[in-house]
Structures are given as C-alpha cells and as structure tokens.
C-alpha cells in the first residue's frame, strides 16, 4: 500500500452551513510534523480557498439583504434577520480562514 493510501482512511460528505451544498472531506491520520507533507498542505490550501469563496459569497449576500431592506422598507424586519444570519456565517468562515492561514504559515 502506498504512503498516500495509508494516510487516507475516510471520505465523507458534509453539508455547508446553508445546507444546499455538499463538500468532500478527506481525513488523514499519521500526518508528520517534522517534514512538510505536500499532500496535506494541498488539502489545507484547498479548504482555505473554499472558505474564502464562501466568505466572499456570504458578504455579498449580506450586502444584498441590506440593499433590499433600503429599497423595500416593508420587508425591513424580515430582511434584517437574513442579514444578521449572513453576518454570523461570515464570522464563522473568517474564524476558519484565520485558523487555516495560521497553520499554513507555520508549515511553510
């Protein structure tokens, strides 16, 4: 069995916070910290890119809810709740991005 195959032992499907998109999650055991493992760095970079795209999307979503709220005052309360939820999702994504950036900086 190859070294890569030994590291990889599980693939699962996890839905995003919105529940409308599934993403593949690879789980590695035995990741060495003494040398830079290219495969695991690639996976972390892939996760980082995905979170950055998701963050950009959520921020635009929040802006749009705010814009709609200004244009349709009667919907303000309903749109305000959507705006708040988008802001909460953006905070969670930013935390994930920060964690991955810290880890990637230490590994490079």
Does the structure show a pLDDT above 70 at 9?
A: no
Task: Write out pLDDT tens, residues 35-67.
Answer: 557 888 899 999 999 999 999 999 999 999 999
In contact, 93 and 51? CB cutoff 8 Å: yes
More confident residue, 27 or 49: 49
Helix axes 38-71, 76-107, angle to 10 degrees: 160
Q: Measuring CA to CA, which residue among 22, 90, 97, 20 is closest to residue 58?
A: 90
Distance CA 37, CA 34 (A): 9
Domain ranges of the chain: 36-107
Q: CA–CA distance from 26 to each of 11, 72, 83, 103 (Å)?
A: 5, 44, 32, 17
- Which segment of 1-15, 43-57, 78-92, 94-108 scores lowest on mean pLDDT? 1-15
Q: SS3 for 34? A: coil
Does the structure show a pLDDT above 60 at 74?
A: yes
Report pLDDT for 107: 79
């Amino acid at each position: 069995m190859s070294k890569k195959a030994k590291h990889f032992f599980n693939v699962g499907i996890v839905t995003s916070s919105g529940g409308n998109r599934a993403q593949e999650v690879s789980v590695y055991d035995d990741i060495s910290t003494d040398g830079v493992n290219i495969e695991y760095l690639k996976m972390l970079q892939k996760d980082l890119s995905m979170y950055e795209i998701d963050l950009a999307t959520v921020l635009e979503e929040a802006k749009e809810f705010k814009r709609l709220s200004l244009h349709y005052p009667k919907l303000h309360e309903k749109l305000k709740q959507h705006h708040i939820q988008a802001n909460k999702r953006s905070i969670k994504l930013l935390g994930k991005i920060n964690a991955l950036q810290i880890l990637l900086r230490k590994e490079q």
